[in-house]
Amino acid sequence: KQEVTQIPAALSVPEGENLVLNCSFTDSAIYNLQWFRQDPGKGLTSLLLIQSSQREQTSGRLNASLDKSSGRSTLYIAASQPGDSATYLCAVSDSGNTGKLIFGQGTTLQVKP
Amino acid sequence: SAVISQKPSRDICQRGTSLTIQCQVDSQVTMMFWYRQQPGQSLTLIATANQGSEATYESGFVIDKFPISRPNLTFSTLTVSNMSPEDSSIYLCSGEGAYGYTFGSGTRLTVV
């Protein structure tokens, strides 16, 4: 059974810092991996999607990497801003491409001005 | 990308009653899903909503408790039946299409 773990559970940094969020999964047979952002009382916003054949994806100040063989992904946020404060969720889609997502517990990020 | 309108956004319900949550997508999506997010927890998949046929439920979730409909490619409902305080959660729908995934804003349910 696929399990997704995110470390740390919470993180507080001063504005301007670069930071890394970690995600690990137990079964390397995935179709893709995604990073989402969840703001309090809101739904999820997709940030980056990495297909199983890819190593990384970039969007603005965000860079996500994927090492499928070791079951790890990282989300790098450059020059953090208070607006980046949110919960970040990692999710994997199984190799059968059923569309089902298995989520990690999330990392709650606070960026202090 | 597609936009999903989910309603109600929140509700407080008496135990033993039922609540139906609706999701409307502004464009056709291939697949729709329903998730539950219990307090302080991550998202857990309840079921895959299949167009025109019975939903496919994950382990631990049953149709009698969470009946789901999906009459067309852009609309789905989830009913939480015979509610108890343990059903207090956020319920989210999701659609997958050519653009990737999009989520509704969630329904925060409190059962008293």
Which residues in chain A have their CB less than 8 angstroms from residue B25's CB? Answer: none
Condensed to tens digits (0 to 9), the pLDDT of residues A16-45 reads 999 999 999 999 999 999 999 999 878 899
Condensed to tens digits (0 to 9), the pLDDT of residues A71-95 reads 999 999 999 999 999 999 999 998 7
Residue type, B23: C
Q: How confident is the model at residue B40 (pLDDT cuts 50, 70, 90)?
A: confident
Q: Is the dihedral of CA B52, B19, B43, B4 positive or negative?
A: positive
Asked if residues B50 and B36 have their Cβ atoms less than 8 Å apart, the reply is no
Share of chain A above pLDDT 70, in %: 98
Which residues in chain A have their CB less than 8 angstroms from residue B41's CB? Answer: 105
A57 has a pLDDT exceeding 80: yes
Q: Output the pLDDT for position B100.
A: 80
| Contact across the interface for A46 and B4, Cβ inside 8 Å | no
**Best of B92, B101, B108 to mutate (most A CBs within 10 Å, chain A):** B101
| Contact across the interface for B6 and A44, Cβ inside 8 Å | no
Q: Output the pLDDT for position A1.
A: 86
Q: Output the pLDDT for position B28.
A: 86
Closest CA to A64 of A78, A44, A79, A50: A50
Q: Output the pLDDT for position B78.
A: 98
Angle at A48 between CA A72 and CA B25, to 5 degrees: 130
Q: Which residues of B71-103 are buried (b: 16+ CB within 10 A; e: fewer)?
A: eebbebbbebbebeeebbbbbbbbbbbeeebbb
Q: What is the dihedral of CA B49, B50, B55, B59, to 10 degrees?
A: -70
| Contact across the interface for A102 and B96, Cβ inside 8 Å | no
| Contact across the interface for B102 and A46, Cβ inside 8 Å | yes
Q: Output the pLDDT for position B43.
A: 93
Condensed to tens digits (0 to 9), the pLDDT of residues B51-108 reads 888 999 999 999 999 999 999 999 999 999 999 999 999 999 999 887 788 999 999 9
Q: Number of A:B CB contacts under 8 A?
A: 51
Q: How confident is the model at residue B111 (pLDDT cuts 50, 70, 90)?
A: very high
| Mean pLDDT value across residues B6-28 | 96
Please provide residue B85's backbone torsions phi and psi, each rounded to the nearest 5 degrees. -55, -25
| Contact across the interface for B106 and A43, Cβ inside 8 Å | yes
Q: Output the pLDDT for position A16.
A: 97
How many angstroms away from the CA of B103 is the closest CA of chain A? 6
| Contact across the interface for B48 and A100, Cβ inside 8 Å | yes
Higher pLDDT, A98 or A35: A35
Q: Which of A34, A102, A105 sits opposite B101 (nearest CB)?
A: A34
| Contact across the interface for A102 and B45, Cβ inside 8 Å | yes
Residues of B at the A interface, defined by Cβ within 8 angstroms: 1, 4, 6, 30-31, 33, 41-45, 48, 58, 92, 94, 96, 100-106, 108
Q: How confident is the model at residue A60 (pLDDT cuts 50, 70, 90)?
A: very high
Structure tokens at B28: 């056709």
Asked if residues A23 and A72 have their Cβ atoms less than 8 Å apart, the reply is yes
